[in-house]
Structure 1
Amino acid sequence: MNPKNVLNLGIKELRGLLRDPIMLVLIIYAFSLSIYTSASSSPEALANAAISIVDEDQSHLSSRIVSAFYPPWFVQPGMITTTEMDDRMDAGMDTFALDIPPDFERDVLAGKMPAIQLNVDATRMGQAFTGSGYIQQIVTGEVSEYVAKYRAETSLPVELALRARYNPSLDPGWFGAITSVIESITMLSLILTGAALIREKEHGTVEHLLVMPVTAGEIMLSKIWSMGGVVLCGSAFALVVVVQGLLEVPIHGSVPLFLAGSVLMLFAMTALGIFMATIAGTMPQFALLTMLVIFPLQVLSGAMTPRESMPEIIQMIMLAAPNTHFIILSQAILFRGAGFETVWPQLLALLIIGMVLFWLALQRFRKFLG
């Protein structure tokens, strides 16, 4: 193994990348605009939801409930009548319509259990699901606080003190920004190395490599360090400039420790990218194969859904995927401020998986060159 050959071949890969404007645009977009939009436009978050209220009680308690709905979660509530409620829902003007019945305050103070009707436009599924919970909490909180002023006893003997850790404002943008960085690392490390190998085959430069005094291992290492270095620089830029700078998302842990884990992740994913490129052979085939691989990796690794919510057999199978351990490591470091003593099992797992993938890719790459 000649380090000089690995260095020179890697520089050649970087020059080839600079001559590929599509890849450059993809890299810039993935580590800048994609992360910013993922954090600033979260469809699952409730924002400016349209709500109208039918106040048939006209009491002090109903006024408190009406005044509890305000931006940024809801627009200013529109006061409508019962006959207008259905027409507005049919026209799509309101996502929520709250109907406070007559004598609501009197029944509440009398210890009865009056019902408030909430109509929801379920075609707007994201806001419908999240907003229903918000409205229930708001109404329950206002009624409980109001009743406590006039009745000696409350129906709840225990008060729940809620404290949200790591994201006290429950801002989904924090999670979206960091998750987008992780996804970009996974996607680009796979695509760049595979595309670099496919590009050489399509341009006929693979034959040039065969007559040079270089080995298959040197060629693979040159692609890994060059393309991995590009992704590593992009991820560092995204964390420092986009996430911490523009979005002002706090990072609780060590950024160098996260980047060290990213190096192991890049080693594993770039090897996987080379392995897939030797199977595909052409760029369209590689693109289709990437889609078949990247989507299950993203969905089942815990980036979108907690692993604990998945069947145990899926959890066990996904332990063989490098991004499963990388997501556990990244969330522990960036969200919860974990140190090396906490994430060393994931670092070790990434190293082992990377070595296995590198060996498999090397065997396949030798056949590819032959």
Structure 2
Amino acid sequence: MRRLMNILRLGRKELWSLWRDPMMLVLIVYAFTASVYTAATAMPETLHNAPIAIVDEDQSPLSARIASAFYPPHFTRPRMITLGEMDTGMDNGEFTFALNIPPNFQRDVLAGRQPEIQLNIDATRMSQAFTGNGHVQQVVMGEIDEFVRRYRAPTELPVDLALRARFNPSLEKSWFGGIFEIINSVAMLSLILTGAALIREREHGTIEHLLVMPVTPGEIMISKIWSMGLVVLLASALSLVLVVRGLLQVPIEGSIPLFMCGAALCLYAMTSLGIYMATLARSMPQFGLLLMLTLMPLNVLSGGLTPRESMPELVQNVMLIAPTTHFVELGQAILFRGAGLDVVWKPFLALLVIGSVLFALSLKRFRRTISQMA
């Protein structure tokens, strides 16, 4: 009971220290509000309002039909220009695509010849250039095919392919951006808050005060873990309910309490890792450099941005020891697919094992650091 009271009092001290740190409070509020909202809404379609210009040297019904096939939201209204204006406009960045329809194009098409259409692309706009290249070709070839057949009707195929998008029927990208940002913020802040709390005590000299008190290194470490973890857990729950479900109108299929249990296990592992990193760093700048080396691989290779199946097998196997890999797996399963504990028990167990190992390593390192300071 005495040890439990020590842990509670030390944790309350950590919460009070955090409350008196305005920069950390601003970071927490921003990470779970504005950052989540912008991550969801700042993900427009890859091909959205792409500027296009058309040089119509044919002035035929077919060329007019091709020009009218480009319209918002994928493209802006086509800008009709002359051949002399095409290179100048591309150099000035006025449009991404410039389509040149040569003279006698319709006559050559109806005669069975193979006329060429020149498509100029501003490749400095990489995402639009890559996606728009195939889209423009598809639009042009579709209009030519329908013009030659003289009627607009789908081609009869021997197989009818019925497409059904599950969990996100409208393929809305904001659904994924907001939830992944919460997962990312949980991992980031759990490292920052626990590591900064330990380094702040070392820099302010309060760690020496703790050494003369009747508390053990384990009690000090557990108090930092539960207090900082509680702050991140409450902030993520509020963000999930108020920002994702309320403001962004993203439907949550699964159980939020079950997701919070998974988040608590992830916090258990990540806060332990944050303390371990804080014992390695001598100052906040060093800790910041360690964060850059740690957070970037965890975010990029955990499976949230790209599927793990598309990564090299070696990377997939190595990332199995990362807590964020299993947290992303259970988060997507619960929040998107409505999975229960019978489905996500494996990532839960993996987080418990990884967290226990990280806690043991961090406690050993923390005790060694404390003994050296004593």
Q: TM-score, normalised by structure 1?
A: 0.91
1:237-276 superposed matches below 5 A: 237-276=238-277
Secondary structure of residue in 2 paired with 1:53: strand
Secondary structure of residue in 2 paired with 1:98: strand
| Amino acid of the structure 2 residue aligned with 1:202 | E
Alpha-carbon distance, 1:332 to partner: 2.0
Residue 298 (structure 2) aligns with: 297
Q: Does residue 138 of the first structure (1) align with residue 112 of the second (2)?
A: no
1:315-354 superposed matches below 5 A: 315-354=316-355
- What are the superposed Cα offsets for residues 111-141 of structure 1, whole Å, 9 maximum, x if unpaired? 6665433211001112212222333343344
Residue 219 (structure 1) aligns with: 220
Alpha-carbon distance, 1:198 to partner: 0.6
Secondary structure of residue in 2 paired with 1:178: helix
Query: Following the alignment from structure 2 to structure 1, what is the Cα–Cα distance between the partners of residues 99 and 316?
Result: 42
Alpha-carbon distance, 1:188 to partner: 0.5
Alpha-carbon distance, 1:174 to partner: 2.4
Q: CA RMSD in A?
A: 2.5
Q: Is the 8 A contact 1:45 1:172 kept in 2?
A: no
Alpha-carbon distance, 1:102 to partner: 4.4
Query: Following the alignment from structure 2 to structure 1, what is the Cα–Cα distance between the partners of residues 240 and 69?
Result: 37
Per mean C-alpha deviation after superposition, the further-off stretch among 298-307 and 29-38 is 298-307
1:1-370 superposed matches below 5 A: 2-42=3-43, 45-105=46-106, 114-143=115-144, 150=151, 154=155, 161-370=162-371
Alpha-carbon distance, 1:79 to partner: 1.3
Q: List alignment gaps of at least 5 residues for structure 2.
A: none
Identity %: 66
Query: Following the alignment from structure 2 to structure 1, what is the Cα–Cα distance between the partners of residues 154 and 108?
Result: 16
Query: Following the alignment from structure 1 to structure 2, what is the Cα–Cα distance between the partners of residues 151 and 141?
Result: 10
| Amino acid of the structure 1 residue aligned with 2:123 | A
Query: Following the alignment from structure 1 to structure 2, what is the Cα–Cα distance between the partners of residues 255 and 350?
Result: 18
Q: Is the 8 A contact 1:43 1:126 kept in 2?
A: no
Per mean C-alpha deviation after superposition, the further-off stretch among 356-365 and 104-113 is 104-113
| Amino acid of the structure 1 residue aligned with 2:180 | T
Q: TM-score, normalised by structure 2?
A: 0.90
Q: Is the 8 A contact 1:120 1:128 kept in 2?
A: yes
Alpha-carbon distance, 1:261 to partner: 0.9
Query: Following the alignment from structure 1 to structure 2, what is the Cα–Cα distance between the partners of residues 58 and 274?
Result: 71
Q: Is the 8 A contact 1:244 1:250 kept in 2?
A: yes
Per mean C-alpha deviation after superposition, the further-off stretch among 106-115 and 297-306 is 106-115
Query: Following the alignment from structure 2 to structure 1, what is the Cα–Cα distance between the partners of residues 10 and 327?
Result: 28
Q: Is the 8 A contact 2:51 2:76 kept in 1?
A: yes
Alpha-carbon distance, 1:200 to partner: 1.0
Q: Is the 8 A contact 1:269 1:354 kept in 2?
A: yes
Query: Following the alignment from structure 1 to structure 2, what is the Cα–Cα distance between the partners of residues 218 and 205?
Result: 16
Q: 1:190 to 1:144 in 2, by over 3 A?
A: farther
| Amino acid of the structure 2 residue aligned with 1:72 | P
| Amino acid of the structure 2 residue aligned with 1:341 | D
Query: Following the alignment from structure 1 to structure 2, what is the Cα–Cα distance between the partners of residues 113 and 83?
Result: 25
| Amino acid of the structure 2 residue aligned with 1:138 | V
Query: Following the alignment from structure 1 to structure 2, what is the Cα–Cα distance between the partners of residues 241 and 64?
Result: 48
Q: Is the 8 A contact 1:44 1:130 kept in 2?
A: no
Alpha-carbon distance, 1:168 to partner: 3.2
Per mean C-alpha deviation after superposition, the further-off stretch among 177-186 and 357-366 is 177-186
Secondary structure of residue in 2 paired with 1:319: helix
Alpha-carbon distance, 1:151 to partner: 8.9
- What are the superposed Cα offsets for residues 63-120 of structure 1, whole Å, 9 maximum, x if unpaired? 3433332223222111122222222111110111123344555665666665433211
Query: Following the alignment from structure 1 to structure 2, what is the Cα–Cα distance between the partners of residues 339 and 143?
Result: 51
Query: Following the alignment from structure 1 to structure 2, what is the Cα–Cα distance between the partners of residues 74 and 246?
Result: 29
Query: Following the alignment from structure 2 to structure 1, what is the Cα–Cα distance between the partners of residues 32 and 282?
Result: 28
Q: 1:103 to 1:311 in 2, by over 3 A?
A: same
| Amino acid of the structure 2 residue aligned with 1:88 | G
Alpha-carbon distance, 1:224 to partner: 1.0
Query: Following the alignment from structure 2 to structure 1, what is the Cα–Cα distance between the partners of residues 163 and 105?
Result: 29
